[in-house]
């Protein structure tokens, strides 16, 4: 927290830190300490745009649908783009892991990104082995996704190990689909995953969460995020615990050199509400979080949990003077979605290409 702990010095220190060290430090920090230290840590990654720059806040556009209906997904994508969401990734949690269904969604996202020349990347959040097989069959995959945890036993319960993750990274790199960089992996984590799999070996969930970030950094990911309140009150009881966990996770990830984002969320049976999420969103945005989620109305109708909306990202950007990734911001202005000035204001009218898209959907 001293002035000597600058952004360059913390960046140089990151490879020498272990997850156990940063988890231990996080436990003795106040909320303001977690924010102060994390905002010094800048982790910049690239694929089709640049994520993690100072005074930038990116978003994952999450257009999930309970039946993977292409029309419903497309409507959510257009909705999100109109609010300046989607620069971190347009990422879908599929309702099924079948190769055919996953490939259909991949091709749909690829077509949208190419048709409108959007400087962003797509991801279907399926198992890494499904992505590898889809790549082998010629699918246009940008990012390879996998949920990871902080013990070997927990990762085994997810059906992965380090060798499989390396195979997925190499498969994605072989496609050479990035334009400004080659960071091709997307990882999600969450406190309690090892405990829920009875794979925690008696270790506390905060330390094991930090260990997941050490797994992630080995593979040079574009994106990593904790789905902080998703598992439920059995692991994080209420809004206060979710807020604290989100700040700890972000602090630990950034100190370890990971491009850390957060799915600011809670399940409907937790002792939490959207006001708690507003608090965590504001604190994380002040702490320099790399990206958050953007979902229509903050309600994921496929995964059945509450998270952040497209409007929430606009709020955080406006209050704290944050902007999208630079390439994506330029695209938003070119398309007429954002005003052509130094603000982060939405334009007054819907751009003509998207008027036609919405008419087609209707």
What is the DSSP code string of 54-101?
Answer: TTB-EEEE----TT--HHHHHHHHHHHHHTT--SSEEEE--S---HHH
Say which residues have a Cβ less than 8 Å from residue 234's Cβ, sequence separation at least 6. 192, 196
Give the model's pLDDT for residue 343.
Answer: 65
Q: In 3-state terms, what secondary structure has residue 50?
A: strand
| Structural domains counted in the chain | 1
From CA 249, how far away is CA 207, in angstroms rounded? 10
Q: What pLDDT is recorded for position 153?
A: 97
Q: Is residue 146 part of a domain?
A: yes
| Predicted pLDDT of residue 360 | 65
Q: Tell me: the pLDDT tens digits for 312-354? A: 999 999 999 999 999 999 999 999 999 887 666 777 766 776 6
- Asked, for residue 72, whether it belongs to a domain, the answer is yes
Residue 281 placed within a domain: yes
What are φ and ψ of residue 342, in 5° steps? -85, 5
CATH at residue 253: 3.20.20.70
Rounded to two decimals, the pTM is 0.95
Give me the pLDDT at residue 97, please: 87
The residue with tokens 């972000």 is 250
pLDDT of residue 222: 98
Report the distance separating Cα 154 and Cα 119, nearest Å.
35
Which residues form the domain of 89? 7-361
Residue 233: inside a domain: yes
Residue 359 has a pLDDT of: 67
For the chain, residues with pLDDT lower than 70 are 342-344, 349-350, 353-362
Report the distance separating Cα 245 and Cα 330, nearest Å. Answer: 34
* E strand intervals along the chain: 45-46, 50-51, 58-61, 89-92, 122-124, 144-147, 185-189, 223-227, 260-263, 291-294, 299-300, 305-306
Q: Is the dihedral of CA 198, 20, 278, 348 positive or negative?
A: negative
Identify whether 66 is part of a domain. yes
In a domain, 1, yes or no: no
| pLDDT number for residue 357 | 64
Radius of gyration of the chain (CA): 19
* 30-66 exposure pattern, b = at least 16 Cβ within 10 A, e = fewer: eeeebbbbbbbbbbebbbbbbbbeeebbbbbbbbbbe
User: Is 2 a domain residue?
Assistant: no
Q: Is residue 292 part of a domain?
A: yes
What is the reported pLDDT for 356?
67
Cβ-based burial of 69 (10 A; exposed 0-12, middle 13-18, buried ≥19): exposed
Kindly state the tokens that stand for 48. Answer: 């089709």
- 181 phi/psi in degrees, rounded to 5: -170, 175
The pLDDT, as a whole number, for residue 347 is 75
pLDDT of residue 1: 86
Write out the two tokens for 272: 């939490």
Query: Biggest alpha carbon distance in the chain?
Result: 57
End-to-end Cα separation, the chain, in angstroms: 54
State the pLDDT at residue 89: 98
* Token code pair at residue 89: 């990734």
| Measured CA distances, 217 to 140, 165, 201, 318 (Å) | 24, 12, 23, 31
- Token pair recorded at residue 314: 């606009």
């Amino acid at each position: 927290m001293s002035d000597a702990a600058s952004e360059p010095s913390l960046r140089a220190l990151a490879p020498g830190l272990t997850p156990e060290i940063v988890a231990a430090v996080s436990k003795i920090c106040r909320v303001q300490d977690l924010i102060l230290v994390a905002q010094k840590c800048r982790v910049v990654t690239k694929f089709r745009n640049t994520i993690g720059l100072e005074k930038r806040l990116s978003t994952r556009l999450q257009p999930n649908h309970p039946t993977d209906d292409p029309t419903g997904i497309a409507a959510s994508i257009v909705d999100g783009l109109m609010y300046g969401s989607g620069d971190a990734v347009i990422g879908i949690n599929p309702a099924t892991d079948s190769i055919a269904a996953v490939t259909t969604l991949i091709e749909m996202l690829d077509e949208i990104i190419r048709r409108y020349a959007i400087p962003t990347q797509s991801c279907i959040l399926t198992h890494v082995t499904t992505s590898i097989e889809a790549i082998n069959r010629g699918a246009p995959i940008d990012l390879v996704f996998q949920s990871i945890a902080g013990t070997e036993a927990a990762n085994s319960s997810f059906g992965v190990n380090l060798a499989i993750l390396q195979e997925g990274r190499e498969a994605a790199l072989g496609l050479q689909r990035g334009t400004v960089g080659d960071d091709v992996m997307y990882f999600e984590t969450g406190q309690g995953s090892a405990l829920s799999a009875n794979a925690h070996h008696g270790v506390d969930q905060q330390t094991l969460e930090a260990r997941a970030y050490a797994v992630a950094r080995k593979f040079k990911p574009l994106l990593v995020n904790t789905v902080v309140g998703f598992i439920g009150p059995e692991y994080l009881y209420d809004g206060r615990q979710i807020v604290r966990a989100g700040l700890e996770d972000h602090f630990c990830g950034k100190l370890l050199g990971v491009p850390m984002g957060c799915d600011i969320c809670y399940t409907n049976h937790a002792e939490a509400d959207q006001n708690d999420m507003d608090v965590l969103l504001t604190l994380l945005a002040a702490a320099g979080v790399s990206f958050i989620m953007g979902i229509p109305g903050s309600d994921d109708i496929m995964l059945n949990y509450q998270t952040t909306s497209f409007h929430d990202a606009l709020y955080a950007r406006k209050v704290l003077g944050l902007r999208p990734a630079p390439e994506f911001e330029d695209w938003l202005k070119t398309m007429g979605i954002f005003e052509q000035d130094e603000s982060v204001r939405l334009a007054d009218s819907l751009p003509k290409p998207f008027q036609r898209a919405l008419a087609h959907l209707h």
